[in-house]
A and B are shown apart, each in its own frame.
Chain A
Amino acid sequence: MANHNLPSEHHESPEGTGWIWKVFWILLIVTTVEVALGIIKPEILMGKFLGTSVLNIIFIVLTLLKAFYIVAEFMHLKFERSNLIWTIALPVLILIPYLAFILLTEGGYMNVLMAQ
């Protein structure tokens, strides 16, 4: 009988709690920058880029940065075996951009069909 309560193998992870607070400050600073940009909305960043404003692209990049730190550090994925890392990361990295691309570029056809 396999014992389901066996612990996972031990993986190298940093000692102490310093790294946790480092990630906390990164997340906090990035969020503060986002909120500040969202309130000020600098005119210089309102230009169009890739179908939306430069500001929105900055928001999305900063969000992905935060997501990376949460998944890699807090969820400890960075320290897992590489087959686990890729099993989790690849479907997300392929399917979500694909879905976003299809809906945002080809989604217009739906409106044409609904109008008929």
Chain B
Amino acid sequence: MANGAVIEQNTSTLWGGGRQPFGASYGKLMMWFFLLSDALTFSGFLTAMGLYRFKYEETWPIAENVFTHFPFLHGEHPLLFVALMTFILIVSSVTMVMAVNAGHHNDKKGVVLWLGLTIVGGFTFLGSQAWEWYHFIHGDKGAVIAQDNTVYYLTEAGSEGKILSVFELVTGEKKPHGDHSEFTTEQLRNAFAANGSATLRLPGKGDKDGVKILSRKEAENVLASAEVIQGASLRANEYGNVLFADFFYFVTGFHGTHVFSGVVLNIIIFINVLMGTYERRGHYEMVEKVGLYWHFVDLVWVFVFTFFYLV
């Protein structure tokens, strides 16, 4: 039968390769599967952070007390810098879509322009993250760490828990912008004894009653065996619970690694575009594949932004 021959021919081409059951090329499909597994990895990190954050609500710092710096601006500007970082990443996502779009039209000049801008955006974001880490590592106001590793902020009675910097308590002056002078526990204890209204508070927002402020007596008891802490390492940090800084370093670091490898991929593809590799191949799908990765990096940042800085 003539029909039998046709069916046979169809099945042989069906299994003979060259067909796309998902309507996507091999490379694009594998990129999607990789991103799927990566999404699950990141959600594992973020939900783990959520778990500990609920457990240690009293000592878990509030983001607006931690991330307060903005380049060239004095005073406290919570959220502004990280909003700028989000903006940079969104813009670089847009330039990437433009590059993919230009690729669809085999417009080499367009791909070069937009992919180049995406690389610039990537480096700008990485620079911003380095800046953010620098300030996180050096710390800002300083705090007190008790024997049991509980971190207390300095505050004054009647100021509703407004944080007093170690600098201000010891020197009696406003802390200058970008100052990183270090103080000893001895200096802190003396200054604390001299300032009758100074006391301690927990970093978290506490329960219904709000911030938990210690009485002067409790604060003196804590301070008798506590030490001054400035800056943040993986072992201890001035912001609050040790896990806060650990998750900060790990999650933003892991995301930063993704951004970095994304920039590297973009540069490799950029060089290939310049050399005309995809022009000779007849299509620019490679730009689309690294584009998927780049958008994913933006996607992850959207969630990191929410769960580290907003919620």
Contact = CB atoms under 8 A, between A and B. Distances in A.
Interface of A: 1-9, 11, 13, 17, 20-21, 23-24, 27-28, 31-32, 34-35, 38-39, 52, 56, 59-60, 63, 66-67, 70-71, 74-76, 80-81, 83-84, 87-88, 91-92, 95-96, 99-100, 103-104, 107-108, 110-111
A31 B83 contact: yes
Contacts of B27: 4
Contacts of B21: 83
A110 B51 CA distance: 10
Most chain B Cβ neighbours within 10 Å, of A39, A52, A74, A95: A74
B79 A104 contact: no
A8 B50 contact: no
A28 B29 CA distance: 29
A28 B55 contact: no
Contacts of B310: 34, 38, 56, 59
Contacts of B299: 67, 70-71, 75
Contacts of B285: 7-8
A27 B26 contact: no
B25 interface: yes
Interface stretch (B38-46, B126-134, B153-161, B258-266): B38-46
Contacts of A111: 55
B97 interface: yes
Contacts of A24: 90-91, 94
A97 B83 CA distance: 26
B72 interface: no
Nearest to B22: A84
A75 B202 CA distance: 43
A76 to B, nearest CB: 8
A74 B100 CA distance: 10
A5 B298 contact: no
A87 to B, nearest CB: 7
Contacts of B271: none
B93 interface: yes
A31 B25 contact: no
A35 B83 contact: yes
B4 interface: no
